[in-house]
């Protein structure tokens, strides 16, 4: 269906612009007037069949992704408008006019068109799995059926913001160690490839026996210069092989189990997975989604197949009348604090509240663990870089010191 770009005036004589789907320009005008917009200019844009639908099918993240910050703002603003008594179609119209993100603006306009034609909001969001994933759509559907859509949207806004904060926290903690590794590799490569060969030629002219440390550094330099291309090819091939293996179900299980067993880092990864799972489950339950469906959705956001398998076992146990906490305790993948608080939540009927407290607790644990890890890795990496540089310098100075002492 063709897409038309328009400019027009609203009932309040305010200028507006956007996009609308219609069979013809006349149909576009009719749709806009039905929405209370008097069009002053309409131009046919690219058709959805050629552009938008192709992008939807390709799922290109660089072209399609709506940032979590924009999604959180959209959720909170829509919740505020609906809670104030503004009809859903008018709320979506208002948001379409003020959203700055181009993709989200177009999606909001299409949601308004679909809702205006009698389609449910959650069903309309199903056409856009990014940014509206299964969790988001499930909660919106539950909010529509229960009449608590503003509350559900507000909770979704908080959930998306919390997810963004956790991601930013992890990214910020990893920037410094990653930067140190890149700088260290660059300095070491420069010394071994650019400096050592020139010094090697000078040392060979001395016609004297070189110290063992010097011989080792020269050997590493020669190896790096002679075999750098095969090394890059082998490293790239190994990376592709491991990546292919991780994509398989068995390979993913092995990889995730290995990551969880890593010293220090494995504990942080486990905390992150538990935080994601408990926050998601708490949000779903508080939004009115039933426990079985909520567990089925929440397991996919844990980011670890080992944790997801334990959650799947808990979901199956619930259908048989068993306890969530008991099943998770038997898996051995969840700390006692988690299973204890879930058991208290089940017994008190406030499982969503307890899960929210668990997610907050593990968010704090992640933050503290990342701070400690960063505090240790910074000086450690600095010491390693300094040690490598000292070794390279000594390898060049020792022969010169031997020469001066023999004179």
Q: Would the pLDDT of 3 be above 70?
A: no
- Could you read off the pLDDT of 281-317 as tens digits, one per residue? 888 888 888 888 888 888 888 888 888 888 888 888 8
Q: Look over the chain and give the mean of its residue pLDDT values, rounded to a whole number.
A: 82
- Could you read off the pLDDT of 99-141 as tens digits, one per residue? 888 888 889 988 988 888 888 898 899 888 888 988 888 888 8
Q: At what angle do helices 149-190 and 134-146 cross, to 10 degrees?
A: 170
pLDDT of residue 340: 92
Percentage of residues of the chain with pLDDT beyond 70: 90
pLDDT of residue 323: 86
- Could you read off the pLDDT of 343-392 as tens digits, one per residue? 999 888 888 889 989 988 988 888 888 888 888 887 888 888 888 888 88
pLDDT of residue 73: 92
Helix (H), strand (E) at residue 13: none
Q: Would the pLDDT of 43 be above 70?
A: yes
Please tell me the distance from the alpha carbon of residue 29 to that of residue 90, in angstroms, as a whole number: 18
Please tell me the distance from the alpha carbon of residue 30 to that of residue 42, in angstroms, as a whole number: 12
Q: Would the pLDDT of 396 be above 80?
A: no
Q: Would the pLDDT of 173 be above 70?
A: yes
DSSP 92-158: HHHHHHH---HHHHHHHHHHHHHHHTT--HHHHHTT-TTTS-HHHHHHHHHHHHHT-HHHHHHHHHH
The reported pTM is: 0.69
Q: Any idea which residue has 């099943």 for tokens?
A: 327
Helix (H), strand (E) at residue 320: none
pLDDT of residue 227: 84
Q: Would the pLDDT of 66 be above 50?
A: yes
Name the pLDDT band for 64 (thresholds 50, 70, 90).
low
Q: Would the pLDDT of 49 be above 50?
A: no
Q: At what angle do helices 305-319 and 265-286 cross, to 10 degrees?
A: 40
pLDDT of residue 55: 41
9 forms bridges with which residues in the sheet? 15, 38
What domains, with CATH codes, occur in the chain? 3-159 (1.20.81.30), 173-407 (1.20.81.30)
Name the pLDDT band for 58 (thresholds 50, 70, 90).
very low
- Could you read off the pLDDT of 141-158 as tens digits, one per residue? 888 887 888 888 998 898
18 forms bridges with which residues in the sheet? 6
Name the pLDDT band for 403 (thresholds 50, 70, 90).
low
pLDDT of residue 77: 92
Please tell me the distance from the alpha carbon of residue 140 to that of residue 148, in angstroms, as a whole number: 9
Please name the residue ranges forming H helices in 117-264: 121-125, 134-146, 149-190, 196-204, 212-247, 249-260
Of residues 279, 258, 280, the one with CA closest to residue 269: 258
Q: Would the pLDDT of 51 be above 50?
A: no
Decide which of 374 and 257 is more confident. 257
pLDDT of residue 48: 45
Going from the C-alpha of 215 to that of each of 196, 366, 392, the distances in angstroms are: 11, 45, 11
pLDDT of residue 248: 87
pLDDT of residue 59: 41
pLDDT of residue 65: 80
- Could you read off the pLDDT of 178-193 as tens digits, one per residue? 888 888 888 888 888 8
- Give mean pLDDT, residues 236-248: 89
User: Quick check: bond before 191 cis, omega within 30?
Assistant: no
pLDDT of residue 45: 58
Please tell me the distance from the alpha carbon of residue 26 to that of residue 39, in angstroms, as a whole number: 11
Name the pLDDT band for 50 (thresholds 50, 70, 90).
very low
pLDDT of residue 407: 53
Name the pLDDT band for 33 (thresholds 50, 70, 90).
confident
pLDDT of residue 2: 61
Please tell me the distance from the alpha carbon of residue 153 to that of residue 161, in angstroms, as a whole number: 12
């Amino acid at each position: 269906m063709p897409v038309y770009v328009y400019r027009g005036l609203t009932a309040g004589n305010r200028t507006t612009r956007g996009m609308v789907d219609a069979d013809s320009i006349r149909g576009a005008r009719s749709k806009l007037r039905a929405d209370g917009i008097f069009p002053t200019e309409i131009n046919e844009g690219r058709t959805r069949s050629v552009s938008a639908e192709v992008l939807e099918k390709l799922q290109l993240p660089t072209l399609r992704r709506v940032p979590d910050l924009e999604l959180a703002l959209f959720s909170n603003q829509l919740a505020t408008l609906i809670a104030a008594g503004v009809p859903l179609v008018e709320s979506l119209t208002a948001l379409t006019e003020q959203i700055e993100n181009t993709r989200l603006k177009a999606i909001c306009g299409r949601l308004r068109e679909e809702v205006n034609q009698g389609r449910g909001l959650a069903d309309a969001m199903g056409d856009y799995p990014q940014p509206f994933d299964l969790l988001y759509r499930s909660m919106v559907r539950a909010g529509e059926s229960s009449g608590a859509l503003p509350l559900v949207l507000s909770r979704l806004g908080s959930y998306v913001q919390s997810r963004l904060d956790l991601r930013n926290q992890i990214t910020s903690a990893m920037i410094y160690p990653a930067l140190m590794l890149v700088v260290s590799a660059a300095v070491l490569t420069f010394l071994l490839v650019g400096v050592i060969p020139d010094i090697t030629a000078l040392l060979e002219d001395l016609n004297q026996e070189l110290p063992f440390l010097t011989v080792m550094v020269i050997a590493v330099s020669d190896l790096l210069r002679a075999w750098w291309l095969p090394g890059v090819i082998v490293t790239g091939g190994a990376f592709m092989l491991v990546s292919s293996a991780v994509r398989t179900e068995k390979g993913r299980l092995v990889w995730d189990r290995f990551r969880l067993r890593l010293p220090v880092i494995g504990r942080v990864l486990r905390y992150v997975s538990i935080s994601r799972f408990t926050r998601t489950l708490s949000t779903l339950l508080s939004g009115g989604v039933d426990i079985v469906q909520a567990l089925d959705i929440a397991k996919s956001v844990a980011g670890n197949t080992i944790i997801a398998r334990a959650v799947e076992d808990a979901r199956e146990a619930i259908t048989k009348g068993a306890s969530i906490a008991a099943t998770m305790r038997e898996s051995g993948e969840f700390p006692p604090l988690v299973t204890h608080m879930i058991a208290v939540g089940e017994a008190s009927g406030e499982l969503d509240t307890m899960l929210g407290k668990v997610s907050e607790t593990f968010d704090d644990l992640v933050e503290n663990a990342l701070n400690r890890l960063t505090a240790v890795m910074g000086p450690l990496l600095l010491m390693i870089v300094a040690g490598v540089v000292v070794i390279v310098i000594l390898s060049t100075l020792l022969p010169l010191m031997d020469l001066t002492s023999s004179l």
